[in-house]
Structure 1
Amino acid sequence: MANNSDKIDNSELKLLIKKRGSCKAQLTQFETFLSRLDGCDGLSELLKTELGIRMKKIELLQSDFDKLQCEIELLSDNVDEAYADRDQFESKLFRLLSVAHGLLAAAARYPAAGAPGGDGTSDAAEECRGGGFVRLPKIDLPHFDGDYQHWLSFRDTYISLIHDNTSINNVNKFHYLRAALTGSASLIIQSLDLTSENYSIAWQLLSDRYDNPRLLINNHISALFSVDPIQRESSSALRNIVDVTNKNLRALASLGEPTDHWDSLIVFLMSKKLDSSSYRQWEEHRNNLDSSPTLQQFIKFLINRADLLETLTDTFKYKQNNKPNNNNDAFKTKNFLVSTDNTRAYSCPMCSQSHGLFNCPSFKALDIDSRIKKAKESRVCMNCLRLGHVENACTLTHCKYCKYRHNTLLHKDVNKNTYTNKSASVPTTSGLANNVALSSDISPSTLNNHGSVLLSTALVKVADRHGSLHTARLLLDNGSTSNFVTESLCEKLDLKRYNASSTVSGINNHATSTTESCDLAIQSYTGDYRTNVRCHVLPHITKCLPSSYIDTTNIPIPTGILLADPSFNEPAAIDILVGAEFFWDVLGTKTIDLGKRQPKLHHSKLGWLLSGCVYNNNIPHSQSYLCHFTDTSRTEPSLTRFWELDSVSSKHCLSFEENKCEEHFKNNTCRDVDGRFIVTMPLKESPEVLGNSYTIAKRRLLSLERKLDKDHNLKHRYHEFMREYLDL
């Protein structure tokens, strides 16, 4: 009996599915009909009548489909699939009905050319009869996904197009509303049946949920505070700040918030989101204003700045695209493959067993220094501990601890060396020339392979001759006995200069002279501190600090800290160097330790100074040394050293390898019948030591054999070619 019952259910289910397919076919025909109408410039009375009849039929079709689908869901084993069919059909039906209502509404507003339109005397009617009617593009329904940011624009647009349109009944409005809602917003009215009475309930539910002034205000304020900071100069990022600011402030104003009085707050908030270069330009622009900048002035500055960056980017791309390419043949690649039939077993240089040095127990038992010594004596690659190549040509992975090019077995923790830079005091001599003693701060990337040193830099305000303030970058050096300013900043400020001849000596006995000085008025950006400094004028103080960009992702700077130099991690020029005369007056007593292997924060009257070593493996390695000045006043040793370097040595001492090459040349050089010299190639290693080329060649040969075994025709032709090659 159970089997017979199952057969009856299956046959009944198949019949119901066929009937449901008929409903789907009718809906598809209605969709085809609408697609033809959508291309028309207007609907005639006949087409409008036909469309109305078809719409009534489709509305009845929904009831038939619902009955069939309910029975299918009761009999079907796969309920999820049945629910998906229902959702797909109803979504399509509601969408097509919405389109149909839209066509009828458009036809009512814009009758087809030649259709009766009233008394026949209006200009519009004449224009229609004359064929001059132009059909405007359709206004698409707005969509709302539940995001509070989009509620106000959706609400106003939907009310204007649908909700307040008296020519659309409530059932059709409900159709439009369902079609417009997506995501979490659609779930609010999902349980309501499609009836005229339920439309007002649905709209009220939606308004109660999203038309909440308190939540809307919080959301728009949060959007202002959540703007992503700009990392580098970008016109699109600047325009995004303008758009986000205007959009959210307009929304807040429509909600009754007094945004007209928020200029100072918004300007301060958004200026902190700018990149360092744009922020510096804004501070200089703000200093030239007579009063506190307004939001409109800030927005205008951002727009002008974005236009400038966009113009520069387009110009650069144009130059790059039109740059002549004369180096088509500049790079040619040649590939060589060397292999040997080396069947001898690999022998460990340590114990002569058949394993690699990296697997040798005796080698692993040694301490780190002994391993390094043994590896060098065995002349193996320091990266993989194999013979046949050097570490620079090794393709295997590096040390897993420090990621440098050596084997993990050879890694050792090297204590940081302490570099002490002594400053010798030189007495002041009589006359015009004064010897200025300065200290040196050394940040060599080659001495500290794990990071870069941050020096104490700060952004300050400096006054020009007329009292206007400008932004400058200052370096604090507690070892310097004098203060310095660049000539470019002095000219920019148009400061009065005084005669002051001095000799400034640097590291390795390098000296320079300065003949002028000036008085500089310095103010803090973060407080009320200000002072006057007498500075020597130099063309350049030092190179850009830091020497390379430093990633600040892993530096845990506490929130609420006002840095003296917000762009401390980006290379930039130093305009002023302030020595010990003012260093201790500026420096405060508070210090914040950011943790192990992190720089420290020092409080000062210029803001919080960040200094110390930043450990970052991503810092590019360079062979340059960044040094400030140290004490010396003699230039004669420098000239003597220059002459020694410039002179030609009378005798050159050959190295061990050069002696071997000389000996090899003498013993193996001969001349052929044409008079050309012939000499054998000098080799450091035995020709038998060819690395891993044998393994590579063997693997390729086996791969070729497998390929030939699969294609007998190719294998036959390959054998014929090889025989012909051997017979040559």
Structure 2
Amino acid sequence: MSVVVENMDVLIRKRGSFKAKVTHFEKYVANLENTYPDKIVSDRVAFLDLETRYERFSQVFDEFELVQNEIEESCDLASINSQYEEREIFNNAYFRLMAKAKSFLADDSVDNVKSSGRSVAGSVATQNTNISQNLVQDFKRVKLPTIEIRTFTGEYGKWLEFRDTYVSLIHENDALSDIQKFHYLRSFLAPKVLEVIASLGFTGTNYEAAWNLIYGCYNNNKILIQNHLRGLFTLDKIQEESPSVLRDLADNVDKHIRSLNALGEDTTNWDTLLIYLVSSKLDSMSLKKWESAKGEAKKSLLPDLTKFLRDRANFLESLEQAKPDKKSNSKFRAGMESKYNKQGSSRSFVATGQSCCYCKKEHFIQNCPDFVNLSVNERIQEAKKLRLCLNCLRAGHVLKDCRSIVCKICKFRHNVLLHINREKAAETTAAAATSSSTTEKEETVNCSFASHKNDGVLLSTAVVRVLGKNNKWVTARALLDPGSQSSFLSRSFVDKLSIPVTKVNINICGLNETESAVSGKVNVKVQSRINDFSLELSCFVIPLVTGSLPNFKVDSQNLNIPANVSLADPTFCTSGPVDMLIGADSFWDLLCVGQIKLGPNGPFLQKSKLGWIVSGKVARLNNLEGYNSLQFC
């Protein structure tokens, strides 16, 4: 039996264990329905038992998703549809059970437990208010919003909020025993943070030690102050004025300043520095308005700037609301109602039958012969018309929220039926551009600009340093491409930097109008390795920038490169991975005056702030193994 089959058997057995958990929980919920037909669990022990089981069962879905994704990635195309059906059956059963269990934890049930004096939240309110028993009874008749403690994920920026809320509601509540406090503490910590107290047994005597470990690990004023200072100095620059962006900028500045003051950092005399810092992040129009607003005042204060930002946001918002709605026609309303109905049905927990949204027959769209017989571009257009997710071909959500697996061929976020074979597309385009054909086997790409079988083209590369976590510099190999509108970083290199990634939702269009979804963006500082030059880049994060460059062997001895030049990439002639791409947004800022032609048929040396770049046509010895194509970026 092959290793793949053995792994598949293991994964299917794991999936079976999750199905068994669903069956057990279904029996438990059925017993509750028989015992409490009015959906109110009046017994305190039974209510806490349900609450604990519900929390544990809520984790089953994520565990199932991991295993199911591995199964779908490992199975062949012939059985992929049956795996999709397995996923849908499990999802329907899981969410139906979650809805039933949650109905027992609704407000009416919780209020009933509170009124009986059996709710921990009631004990918290009683302990912290220090008022008479009669007043507490009157207070309980008032329905107040539930106080929620958000799960602490280990982010220092969220520590103060978690600490103050947890201490006031749980840690200083004498009505709770130590084992109850320990239970609450563990339930509010993410898996990463739980590792700090993993060595402690789950007993009441270990609660104080557990809390002290968490407190000592994250209540570090020095790190917290540095975190908020970093937040101020890394505020995103506004590219185009928008009410929401201006308001977010003001809120972020106020949040960091308040946190610094709470940590004992005196920011009284920081106004001039902060005003300069924040105003440098404004778009050109907002900056002009701010300079005009402050006028001839001798000194502006930070509250003046934040007030200006909020007033400006309110003004822009009022202008947007005053604009006529151009999409208020009947067709648009019908489309919005259809979308709303689809979203509403996707949130319900009722199992529905299979129905192809393309031909309306009883099968999934992946199995639809009419849909499969379309060309790839026609499938993409039809999927967009039907408002389907381009990753799983289902309605009810958008691409960025899809949790299904990615394309098995290129690993980008689209369905395998929507994958465009770039190599075939390039071959087709090249064949159309070439007027004659040949049967001789050559190592050249058959396209109109492949002039000779021994010619190759060196792309511009440079070795740079990129600032990562804890101010550590990491060496990267960059491709300089003025044909790209944006800059990019590979996912593996971002992991090396260990820097935060901002979520985005955009599509990148490449050759043959192929689109790839991008969900991450980072801001990095790039520095030359031969001088003090540096620049700030905003880069999109993608799985792979390009293949190894160059994709053919080069004899650097025949290029006659002058000995006194400092190359931007000393390894330009050695095939190696590319970590980042610097696009036209910064490419032209790198060039300097100075160019050398290396022979009549040789490449060019171009002077840049990163060193001398080697690029252009060269004679290649032979292709590297596995590389018999052009590189497109």
TM norm structure 1 = 0.33
Higher alpha-carbon Rg: 1
